[in-house]
Structure 1
């Protein structure tokens, strides 16, 4: 708890990794991240190469000149990255934000069936 918080401290929010659960089920992979206070507009989820990146920022609106006497929540920048594997279908990832929890679904990529290659005689 921070006593007698002054507006100077409000400029830079601490950067933390959100608590996360990563669960594999028969139909795919589920990632749950605890991100209280983050709105959809302040959230970014993207895939680049084989990496899933999540960024978000909570904004409680303190720092408007008021004198804060105790602060246990405050603004926070959330950052997390997860390596993706070949059996994950990165084209069909879905995400939902509800009650401060970001839920991400990553479907399982359909297995490539072995096939015989036809050889042409020329």
Structure 2
């Protein structure tokens, strides 16, 4: 394998659809996305209208002086998208990354409580 072939192979990361669990609770939805090896700095979460996109990259550096021969274990590019329901408060979505698992919290919109409307004298 030439150096050029090794560099080309090194740049080509497999694209992976990460394993995901979605749990509905009274207060909202919890999405758990398995993203081992992804650092916070390599994680991107975008919300565009009703689409929530999650992407991240996991790369493992080779020790100095070593060349990549063949890889089946290691880094990858993760991508997943979700449709966000109209009952979710999009302004309050939170994300936490811990031990290779991304937790997204999508809270429900607060329900408007019924109230009496005061009638003004005309």
Normalised-by-shorter TM-score class: 0.7 to 0.9
5 Å-filtered alignment, 1:80-95, equals 80-95=80-95
Please, what is the CA RMSD of the aligned residues? Answer: 2.5
Checking the alignment, whether the CA contact within 8 Å between 1:92 and 1:107 is kept in structure 2 is yes
SS in 2 for 1:6: helix
- 65 and 74 in structure 1: CA distance in 2 versus 1, 3 angstrom threshold: farther
Question: What's the CA shift string for 1:23-53, capped at 9, x where partnerless?
Answer: 1011110000000000000001121110101
Tell me by how many angstroms 1:73 deviates: 2.6
Structure 1 distance, partners of 2:62, 2:75, is 8
Q: Partner of 2:102 in structure 1?
A: 102
Distance 1:30 1:85 in 2: 13
C-alpha distance 80-63 of structure 1, shift in aligned 2 (>3 A): farther
Q: Which has the higher helix share?
A: 2
CA-CA distance at 1:86 after TM superposition: 0.7
The answer for unaligned runs of 5 or more in structure 2 is: none
| TM-score for the superposition, normalised by structure 1 | 0.81
Give the structure 2 partner of residue 75 of structure 1.
75
Q: How many residues align?
A: 118
8 Å CA contact 1:7–1:65 kept in 2: the answer is: no
> Equivalent residue for 1:13?
13
Q: CA deviation at 1:17?
A: 1.1
Distance in 2 of aligned mates of 1:83 and 1:119? 42
Separation (CA, whole Å) in 2 of partners of 1:70 and 1:99: 27
**Alignment match, 1:60:** 60
Runs of 4+ in structure 1 over 3 Å off: 62-65, 68-72, 112-120
Could you tell me how far 1:59 is from its partner in structure 2? 1.4
Residue segments in structure 1 that go unaligned for 5+ positions in a row: none
Which residue is 1:27 aligned to? 27
